Amino acid sequence: MLPALPAAVSSPAVEHSASMHCYDLNGRRAIVTGGAQGFGRAIAERFLHSGARVCLWDREADLVKDTARELSPLGEVHSAVVDVVDHLQVETAAAAAAARFGGIDILVANAGIAGPTRPVWEYPPDEWRRVIDVDLTGIFLCCRAVVPHMRAQRYGRIVAIASIAGKEGNPNASAYSAAKAGVIALTKSLGKELAGEDIAVNCITPGPARTRIFDQITPAHIEYMLSKVPRGRFLRVEELASLTTWLVSDENSFATGAVYDLSGGRATY
């Protein structure tokens, strides 16, 4: 039987653990999309522990404001209401973050949705377009808006959050799988375009984690995803945050255009 989901998936900021490795992000300026909850919140929290200043982007106005307030004891954190499918909102928010911080060093393109759990022949075309817009085009628009700021300062780190579904394809999740496969290809293309500069572009392909995206999919599909994980459990958001923090640090001085698997052994390539 599938384990019951917890009542809440986002916890208040906790004190820094002595066992947590601290990557040095002191002075770095970061944008995290979908930053109000789930992966985005965990990543932002880890960045703040590491010394970064963080701007959370999310389309849920009240939630992103509350999250920024809860994380504020950890460091400088701001929030902006941004729908990543709206290129004018994205460009305006990027310019505002650069003006506030004096530049942008880090972008984590995390915002995403699951879409319906339906076979291709029953998948609503409007829903297909919505998932592709948020999960793929949204990342393109964020990169397009932020990269000029990074190029101007000749430094940057971009991490796109893809999915194991983009590598292997999940049945009854064609739009999500296709969008995440596109994120992998976009990462490789942009990584090559910026390889001559000190701007790294990488993506992560996580397996399923207990975040609110589960609210969008059926219990049967959640059980299917868990059954495919050799480790036999869901990914913890803190595990994704740890890998992301290394990828955006100065310690990652060579890898770019790469795909980092975090699927608990599911990936076949």
Q: What are the catalytic residues?
A: 176
Here the tokens at position 126 are 């409007």
Q: Over the range 44-81, which residues count as b (16 or more CB within 10 Å of their CB) and which as e?
A: bbbbbbbbbbbbbbbbeeebbbebbebbeebbebbbbb
Q: Over the range 115-130, which residues count as b (16 or more CB within 10 Å of their CB) and which as e?
A: bbbbeeeebeeeebeb
Spatial CB neighbours of 215, under 8 Å, sequence gap ≥ 6: none
DSSP SS3 for 259: strand
CA end-to-end distance (rounded Å), the chain: 29
The single residue listed with the structure tokens 């975090």 is 262
Here the tokens at position 246 are 């290394």
Cβ pair 109, 139 in contact under 8 A: yes
